[in-house]
Amino acid sequence: MRATTLVGRLIGVEEAVVEGFDIADKPDTGRLVLTANVRPYRRAKPRCSRCGARCPGYDQGSGERRWRALDLGEVMVYLVATMVRVSCPDHGVVVARVGWAHPGSRFTAAFEDSAAWMSANMPATAVATFLRVTFRAVDSIVTRVVARAAGRVDLLDGLTSIAVDEVAYRKGQRYLTVVVDNDTGRLVWAAKGHGKAVLGAFFDTLGPQRSAQLQLVSADGAGTADGWIATVVKDRAAQAVRCMDPFHTVAWATEALDEVRRATVRQLTGVGDKAGLQLVKGSRWALLKNPVNLTAAQAGVLAGVKAANTDLFTAHVLN
């Protein structure tokens, strides 16, 4: 096997031939850099990089172009190619399409796909550090990958159970309204702002036919009878059952239990019951935990609460 063929397989070049390569030591970083000179297959017909249509050649381009590829261990990899330009009837004179990268990107398609996948599973700063690129580069890559996927996948197709919520971002009361598919846990729609108009825009995008397929809509307090989510859902998908999401249900139940415990502390303080006060003050985690997760000490505290304070123990059971 020729060395150029081996390098091509190692770096995963698609629809291209490696004509030569160079490995250089960069003293400033202390790492090796592999630069591979590539070209498309000779049998490949020139196509527009925007629409993919076959087009006549225009000229030999303006010089070499360079793309960052996935690393080979500690070795940073770059692809270099001299790209011809084509004349597209719809997009004018543009660089010809290549199989290893998307138009307008300084990274290979494999690099962008890897960066986008990692960004969905770890912080962007960690992705930037691992791939040895800037945070802004990671952000741009994710934006491009999402834009390309949006044209191929209809995230709103087949929705039957959704969760609607508003989330704050940055400072200054800035909100996003987000819609999640309860069946897959996947974010399917998001928009800046919150309120009836924003959620109405989601249902405009969903359309009447798919809105009629919704069976369940879960939300927080805004989904109660007088909340803005419930109002919009009742108007646009009246057949859907509305319910509280588990997170807020548990949070409110926990808050109610804490309030009963604080009221009990005030009551015991008022009557001067020091023994009962000491027991209740140390009972918070015993009251919040599931019985199967209690330590021996916490189980003893809970037993003492049950014997000494019926109201607080009842609130624990209801929680």
pLDDT value of position 127: 95
The answer, yes or no, to whether residue 224 has pLDDT greater than 70, is no
Which fold does the domain 161-244 belong to in CATH?
A: Nucleotidyltransferase; domain 5 (3.30.420)
Q: Using one digit for the tens of pLDDT, what is the confidence trace for 270-300?
A: 877 777 777 777 787 877 887 778 788 877 7
Q: Is the pTM of this model over 0.75?
A: no
The answer, yes or no, to whether residue 192 has pLDDT greater than 70, is yes
Structural domain boundaries of the chain? 1-100, 107-153, 161-244, 248-318
pLDDT value of position 225: 60
Read off the pLDDT of each residue in 178-183 and give the average, rounded to a whole number: 93
Predicted confidence band of residue 29 (pLDDT cuts 50, 70, 90): low
The answer, yes or no, to whether residue 223 has pLDDT greater than 70, is no
Q: What is the 3-state secondary structure (H, E, C) of the chain?
A: CCHHHHHHHHHCCCCEEEEEEEEEEECCCCEEEEEEEEEECCCCCCEECCCCCECCEEECCCCEEEEEEEEECCEEEEEEEECCEEEECCCEEEEECCCCCCCCCCECHHHHHHHHHHHCCCCHHHHHHHHCCCHHHHHHHHHHHHHHHHCCCCCCCCCCEEEEEEEECCCCCCEEEEEEECCCCEEEEEEECCCHHHHHHHHHHHHHHHHCCCCEEEECHHHCCCCHHHHHHHHHCCCCEEEECHHHHHHHHHHHHHHHHHHHHHHHHHHCCHHHHHHHHCCHHHHHCCHHHCCHHHHHHHHHHHHHCHHHHHHHHHC
23-27, 146-150, 211-215, range with greatest mean pLDDT: 211-215
